[in-house]
A and B are shown apart, each in its own frame.
Chain A
Amino acid sequence: MAEDTRFPQLVALACHDLRTPLATVYGFARTLTRTELDEPSARYLQMIQAASQQLGELLDELALVARIESGRFEPNVTQTDSLELAQSAAAELSEERLVVSGEGAPVLVPLEQTSRALARLAKAAARHGGHEEVSLVVRGPELELSPVSRSAGPVVLGEELRELSAAAAVALIEAIGGSLQVDGERLVITLPNK
């Protein structure tokens, strides 16, 4: 195995190995929630399911970065409207809010992964900037996320590793030919349209 791809491939294999015990936890929690349980057991099981789902999403993101790093990422791109993509990202967020406005244009992206990446960037901007709500203004293939505080800037650019999700989002956007740059309090995300 070549030295430069050995570690990414190992990470990809690790993600695969980690899914097995996770599937057990998730499957059993699901089975138990279908039986009659008293409180708080039922609530605890729901929390186990939610945490298991979150673990699965984190593993997806880690596996994605490993594929990108090893040059084995082959995005399944589809033409979509950038405004619809932004709205889909907003729908993915729960605790933080993403307010979408502007005018869309066709972009060529892997739909689910890009929608999730935008949601993760919005979440990072909100969390690291101390905001409950951020906005995403769509101007054709350019999406402007704001406010992005000074402390959130390096995180949403992938320059400072504080959370996997934001770093994976940056890796994805760059891997599909897009770009990210901070301009004042805005993160400008340019998505590919060719």
Chain B
Amino acid sequence: MRLLLPTRRPVAGPVRADNSLADLVGIACHDLRGSLAAVYGLARTLSLHPDIAQRGELVRLMGASAQQFGELLDDLELVARIEADWFEPSMAEADSIGLAQTAAVEPSDVRVAVSGEGASILVPQHAPRLLARVAEYAALRGGREDIKLVVHGSLLELSPISRATGRALIENENLPIAVAATVALIEATGGSLRVDDQRLRIDLPTPSVGG
């Protein structure tokens, strides 16, 4: 059984409060991560004990849930950092078709069919996972189990997107935290999103623009 460690990021020291919820969320993520690390470490230790072997599936699911919790915390912290202007993106150069293909094989409840031609783009950490969450949200909210992701250089097109889903994405309305984090991240790194004729068009920054 393999349990991956949840992401842990360096945490800033004490923060002067300016009544900013974003500051508080940063502290909350730190506090929550402390307890989560205990849960995770103990679940991992438990999985190695012989008397647990027969009940290994429960422990594996506990570990998977703890990992999901960690990812949600990462997303919440990311939005808080962007909101509080603390965000310093660590961007790496990548190929857009490679990003799309990696996103398509992320664990998901939907199938993502990738096609098109890539180009050099700049991507931040966690980009494939976040793109996968957007694709999953767009498909499931539109009542579908699959979705197309067509790559045109630095432009990624997800389709079909229902009118309600498009509106929610553009107006940032009641989005799951991973999707809200993706929208915020794309905008904070110089990219953009727009909905056009049942397609969500995601323009990603390129080395010449973003670099």
Contacts and interface: CB of A to CB of B under 8 A. Distances in A.
Interface of A: 1, 6-11, 13-14, 17-18, 21-22, 24-25, 28-29, 31-32, 35, 37-38, 40-41, 44-45, 47-48, 51-52, 54-55, 58-59, 61-62, 65-66, 69, 158-165, 167
Contacts of A47: 38, 42
B25 A11 contact: yes
A55 B21 contact: no
Interface string B22-35: 11111110011001
B79 A10 contact: yes
Contact of B35 (A7, A28, A45, A58): A58
Interface of A is mostly: helix
Classify chain B's interface size: 35 or more
Interface of B is mostly: helix
B68 A21 contact: yes
Contact of A1 (B24, B62, B172): B172
A94 B26 CA distance: 26
A168 to B, nearest CB: 8
A14 B27 contact: no
A24 B61 contact: yes
B39 A25 contact: yes
Interface string B64-76: 0110110011011
Nearest to B84: A7
Nearest to A61: B28
